[in-house]
Amino acid sequence: MADFNIVHMYPDLMNLYGDQGNLICLQKRLQWYGHRGVIKDISLDGKLDYRNIDMLFMGGGSDREQGLVYRDLFRQAERLQEEIENGLPVLFICGAYQLLGKSYIGAHGETMDGLRFFDFYTRGAKDRLIGNIVITSTITGAEISIVGFENHGGRTYFEDTELQPLGRVLKGFGNNGEDKGEGISYKNLIGTYLHGPLLPKNPAVADFFIQAMAERKGITIDPILDDSIENFAHHQVKSQILGG
């Protein structure tokens, strides 16, 4: 049995839509694989000890909370970017995803800086993009569908054409409701607008992170779980959204 240390970043500030369910999912699946998922919270002024971190998770928050988190992350941004480049598994959702880009431009023109890890920006709008969503993705090496729920006022636009979205929208809005892209995928990092929470209804994505964590530890995890219930839930949601 191995311990997998997953850091929940700013749970007191960045947890608008109950996305903590993603951590519960990872913890349970690791348990079923015969290992232990240890969730460690870190808040403002906390220090990230990457020697003892297997994955980072952060959910969404309001503009005020995003500003506080940005200032805290900025002081340690260089090291965080290095770890992402080195393949650290990272799941950033909604407002956390937006922080990875260059800036967030509010609906009234006010601008908040981002960490500038990736060449994209987010522009706020008065009307929100809300509803169920289905995308297709090759994050696992094969084409899969991913289902979720989105609720965001920001529209995210890639300026670097080499950036890869997490997937392509079949039904819903995605990054901006225009170009059919949703989220970002880079090495072992996923940024996305998908709430729900994301991982319980998409076990293949949960296992993407588990396999990435295991490989970095030199541990082999065989995909032997019975996901019949999870896959049934996934297909029920997918059929309801697509109408088939």
Exactly one of 35, 94, 152, 234 is catalytic; name it: 94
Q: Residue 110 burial (CB < 10 Å; 0-12/13-18/19+)?
A: exposed
Q: Look at residues 204, 238, 46, 214 and name the one whose alpha carbon lies nearest to residue 133.
A: 238
Q: Look at residues 65, 52, 66 and name the one whose alpha carbon lies nearest to residue 5.
A: 52
Exactly one of 8, 35, 152, 195 is catalytic; name it: 195
Establish whether 94 is a catalytic residue.
Answer: yes
Establish whether 25 is a catalytic residue.
Answer: no
Q: Which residues are catalytic?
A: 94, 195
